[in-house]
């Protein structure tokens, strides 16, 4: 955590508010339900917005800690999923052949 008055929240408070509004939208809820089989949990965005406002209003250390902890959790969440495709270092040796080269007609 940064020190004192020089520290700023990782995002502006309006960003947290916008993410919360987006998360609660019907289109996003439908997409999230379709993709994940459950409705999105938007509570963290609202909590982060409240903590951000508390930081702006009072420079509360608890709000600062809550925002840092929440952002760290978001980063860790993104990192826990392995890539779907294995990345290649070079193309396959027969990359230039037509796709149906192994079919016998």
* pLDDT tens figures, 24-77: 999 999 999 998 899 999 999 999 999 999 999 999 899 999 999 999 998 888
Specify the pLDDT at position 60: 87
* Cα gap 95→76, rounded to integer Å: 37
Per residue in 76-102, is it b (16+ CB within 10 Å) or e — as a string? eeeeeeeeeeeeeeeeeeeeeeeeeee
**Whether the predicted pLDDT of 4 surpasses 60:** no
Residue 31 CA to residue 94 CA, distance in Å, equals 39
Q: Under 8 Å CB-to-CB from 7, ≥6 apart: which residues?
A: 1, 64
Q: What is the DSSP string of 24-79?
A: HSHHHHHHHHHHHSS----HHHHHHHHHHHHHHHH--HHHHHHHHHHHHHHHHHHH
The closest alpha carbon to 59, from 11, 4, 1, 17, belongs to 4
The band of 1, judged by pLDDT with boundaries at 50, 70 and 90, is very low
pLDDT band at 20 (very low <50, low <70, confident <90, very high): very high
């Amino acid at each position: 955590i940064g020190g004192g008055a020089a520290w700023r929240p990782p995002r502006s408070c309006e960003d947290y508010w916008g993410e919360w509004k987006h998360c609660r939208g019907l289109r996003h809820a439908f997409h999230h339900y379709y993709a994940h089989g459950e409705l999105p949990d938007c509570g963290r965005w609202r909590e982060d917005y409240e903590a951000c406002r508390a930081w702006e209003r009072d420079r509360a250390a608890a709000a600062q800690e809550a925002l840092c902890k929440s952002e760290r959790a978001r980063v860790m969440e993104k990192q826990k999923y392995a890539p779907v495709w294995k990345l290649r270092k070079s193309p396959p040796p027969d990359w230039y052949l037509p796709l149906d080269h192994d079919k016998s007609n």
